[in-house]
Amino acid sequence: MKEDLYKTIVVKVGTTTLVNENGKLNIVGIEKLVRVISAIKNSGKNVVLVTSGAVGAGAGRLGIKGKGDIRIKQALAAVGQGVLMQFYEKLFLEYGVNVAQVLLTREDLETDIRRQNALNTLTTLFEFEVVPIVNENDTVAVEEIVYGDNDTLAAVVAKLIGADLLVILSDVDGLYTMPPHEPGAEKIPYVKEITPEIEALAEGSYSNLGTGGMQSKIKAAKIATEAGIAMAIISGESPTDIYNILDGSTACGTFFEPKKAGECAKEA
């Protein structure tokens, strides 16, 4: 991995990568992801993991199918957060990496004082060589459960900490010219600019467990690239593709080119 291309990286992983259809944790998939993030962290880079999966993990632990109403989701998130963090901490410690849980709401990132407090916490964790594991505080943030998604959260966090790269791990390995299961669908490997045509390709594709589709990922890409942050959408089954991106390759999944500093300042 090149030392100076990307110093601070945010990795977002979705529920469909973390939790199997039967509600049980995808142990093999999570282990692969933790191994990659640990290797990147141990190479001297700052890494933030934005994780979904609390509601799905809680449902699996309690044997509940489906998400239910807001009250049920909040309860499942409360159970699932503990399940996820226990598993993450155990795996990361095997690679000598300490982790910390950071639960955020939209209000935390839109209120000046609270946003500064969140930034202070994250940067201090970097000083202590800790990987922050970020999730929406679904147990109290009703609006975020209904309308929010961790793709957007990851982009906002990346912007907050001045990250160089945002990687979104998805059940779809990039942006396609049409739904990828349809004949003739072609993956778009490189997006120089997010145009209305690109946005039109991002039709929602929801899963039984996750909350975001390609629309939320394009929204995240707009937030990130306009802040001068590169972004890539890759397959959640192949987290090792992150190594290639860190080495400068744009051939993995779909890569979104960041705007240059002058362009960002012009629009600010």
Domain CATH code at residue 128:
3.40.1160.10
- In a domain, residue 201? The reply is yes
The pLDDT-based confidence of 260 (bands split at 50, 70, 90) is confident
Q: Is 138 assigned to a binding site?
A: yes
Q: Is 170 assigned to a binding site?
A: yes
Question: Would the pLDDT of 205 be above 60?
Answer: no
Q: Is 24 assigned to a binding site?
A: no
Residues 89-131 pLDDT 10s = 999 999 999 999 999 988 888 889 999 999 999 999 999 999 9
Lowest mean pLDDT among 70-79, 126-135, 169-178, 198-207: 198-207
Q: Which domain holds residue 196?
A: 8-267
- In a domain, residue 34? The reply is yes
Q: Is 150 assigned to a binding site?
A: yes
* Torsion-angle region of 149 (φ positive above 0: left; ψ -120 to 50: alpha; else: beta): beta
Q: Is 52 assigned to a binding site?
A: yes
Predicted model pTM: 0.91
What is the per-residue pLDDT for 210?
Answer: 43
Token pair 């209120």 is at which residue? 111
- In a domain, residue 3? The reply is no
Q: Is 17 assigned to a binding site?
A: no
Q: Is 1 assigned to a binding site?
A: no
Number of domains in the chain: 1
Strand partners, 19: 25
- In a domain, residue 133? The reply is yes
- In a domain, residue 1? The reply is no
Q: Is 215 assigned to a binding site?
A: yes
What is the per-residue pLDDT for 143?
Answer: 59
- In a domain, residue 45? The reply is yes
Q: Is 205 assigned to a binding site?
A: no
Q: Percent of the chain having pLDDT more than 90?
A: 62
Q: Is 217 assigned to a binding site?
A: yes
- Please state the three-class secondary structure of 103-131 as a single string: EECHHHHHCHHHHHHHHHHHHHHHHCCEE
Average pLDDT, integer, range 67-86? 87
- In a domain, residue 159? The reply is yes
Mean pLDDT for the chain overall: 88
- Please state the three-class secondary structure of the chain as a single string: CCCCCCCEEEEEECHHHHECCCCCECHHHHHHHHHHHHHHHHCCCEEEEEECCHHHHHHHHHCCCCCCCHHHHHHHHHHHHHHHHHHHHHHHHHCCCEEEEEEECHHHHHCHHHHHHHHHHHHHHHHCCEEEEEEECCCCCHHHHHHCCHHHHHHHHHHHHCCCEEEEEECCCCEECCCCCCCCCCEECEECCCCHHHHHHCCCCCCCCCCCCHHHHHHHHHHHHHCCCEEEEEECCCCCHHHHHHCCCCCCCEEECCCCHHHHHHHC
What is the per-residue pLDDT for 19?
Answer: 87
- In a domain, residue 2? The reply is no
Q: Is 211 assigned to a binding site?
A: yes
